Structure 1
Amino acid sequence: MFSQLAFPVFEQCIKDYHVHDNIDQPVSNPYPKEQIEHLLYLKNWIDTVQWHFEDLIRDPEIDPVEALKLKRRIDAYNQQRTDMVEFIDSYFLQKYADVTPKPSAKINSESPAWAIDRFSILALKIYHMREEATRVDATPEHRAACQTKLDILLEQKIDLSSAIDDLLNDIASGDKYMKVYKQMKMYNDEALNPVLYQGKK
């Protein structure tokens, strides 16, 4: 099952990041480039750094100049996240290229890689909620509330794992087919964002 391959990769990546817990540390991907695990690790690394960007920018004491710099980095990482999702979908398109969809085949509401994107972020939620549920300097009430949330996240992990595996099995059997749309984000494109192209006049 693909979910059983992917989630441990995400957990390893999150653990590796928190050895130094530094948004500027370079990624050290332990998987060969020809393996899907390499893409999954890199995807989760982007998500993990982004997670900590989002923490930092919410600091009420952050310097406005530094906040703007951080916002630019967040935008860049958002684009990397989208690019990586599309790259992972390309892997699945190639993997199932020889499958002929059945006449009754249907399209899914999201591609496999966008479901995996949610799976990667769920791994981060579980990691950080578990930290809060076991934080020794927190109140018992805080830990209990976080444990309740962690239990829900772990249930969601089971459900999302099943949904991802079912989707891939359906694609492999021809019961569903893949159709990938590029995200076509407009706000980073100088030709499409009015603030950018009007500023060039």
Structure 2
Amino acid sequence: MNAQAANDIFRKSIQDYHLTDDIDTPIPNPYENGTISQLLYLKNWIDTVQWHLEDIIRSPQIAPEELVAVKRRIDQSNQDRTDTVERIDDWFLSFFGTIERKPGARLNSETPAWLLDRMSILQLKIYHFREQAERSDASEEHRSKAEQKLRILLEQEQDLAMCFDELAEDIRAGVRYMKVYRQMKMYNDPTLNPVLYQQK
């Protein structure tokens, strides 16, 4: 798995989502279960749905009960996102498991999966800023500003791709290594969130 392959999967997920542009569309994951491709597609699909949930919740016309429901759905999406990132890191830990570290190998603070998380969200930004840059109903000024931001995002896309490929290469060569520290989120756990466990 390299950066280009990962970005291709992210783009496919985004394109597939926008065939319906519906947050309740079942995930049409085309990849074999348990593969890194399947996990990356799932990860981006979660990000894409959450992107649109974040749009919905900002509507000034949203009813209070819908706002609460969407906010809870975003909270669950954040948990699903974190869980999926950790599953991706588990895949990389297994993939790199037989690599022997060289003397002086450096620990990398950002794992491959969290770097892929940034790359996934960046693809969403690129998609939607390109959409704004091409809007026929927007002003020339609006399109120009969107185009300027899009150029920066495309530069960032190249930079993150290079960073991911270099990290994978260094881990494979044994000169850098990764550790996975679970996020240990507390707010969704009824035994750790005091607002929840004090209500029992």
Who is 2:135 aligned against? 135
**Pairs aligned (count):** 200
**What residue ranges of structure 2 are gaps of 5+ in the alignment?**
none
For residue 130 of structure 1, report the CA deviation from its aligned partner.
0.1
**What residue ranges of structure 1 are gaps of 5+ in the alignment?**
none
Who is 2:184 aligned against? 184
| 2:52 maps to amino acid | H
| 1:114 maps to amino acid | W
Who is 1:164 aligned against? 164
For residue 35 of structure 1, report the CA deviation from its aligned partner.
2.8
Who is 1:198 aligned against? 198
| 1:182 maps to amino acid | R
TM-score (ref. length: structure 1): 0.98
Does 2:109 correspond to 1:120? no
Give per-residue Cα distances to partners, 1:90-134, cap 9 Å, x unaligned. 000000100011121111121100000000000000000000000
For residue 155 of structure 1, report the CA deviation from its aligned partner.
0.1
C-alpha separation in 2, matches of 1:101 and 1:55: 45
CA contact (8 A) 2:53 2:70 kept: yes
C-alpha separation in 2, matches of 1:79 and 1:34: 19
C-alpha separation in 1, matches of 2:162 and 2:130: 22
Who is 2:53 aligned against? 53
RMSD (Å) for aligned C-alpha atoms: 0.8
C-alpha separation in 2, matches of 1:12 and 1:112: 20
TM-score (ref. length: structure 2): 0.98
CA contact (8 A) 2:109 2:178 kept: no
Give per-residue Cα distances to partners, 1:31-78, cap 9 Å, x unaligned. 112431111111100000000000000111110111001111111111
C-alpha separation in 2, matches of 1:78 and 1:140: 36
Who is 2:98 aligned against? 98
Who is 1:18 aligned against? 18
C-alpha separation in 2, matches of 1:60 and 1:150: 27
Who is 1:39 aligned against? 39
Runs of 4+ displaced beyond 3 Å: none
| 1:18 maps to amino acid | H
Who is 1:154 aligned against? 154
C-alpha separation in 2, matches of 1:158 and 1:164: 10
C-alpha separation in 2, matches of 1:153 and 1:94: 32
C-alpha separation in 2, matches of 1:100 and 1:8: 30
For residue 9 of structure 1, report the CA deviation from its aligned partner.
0.7
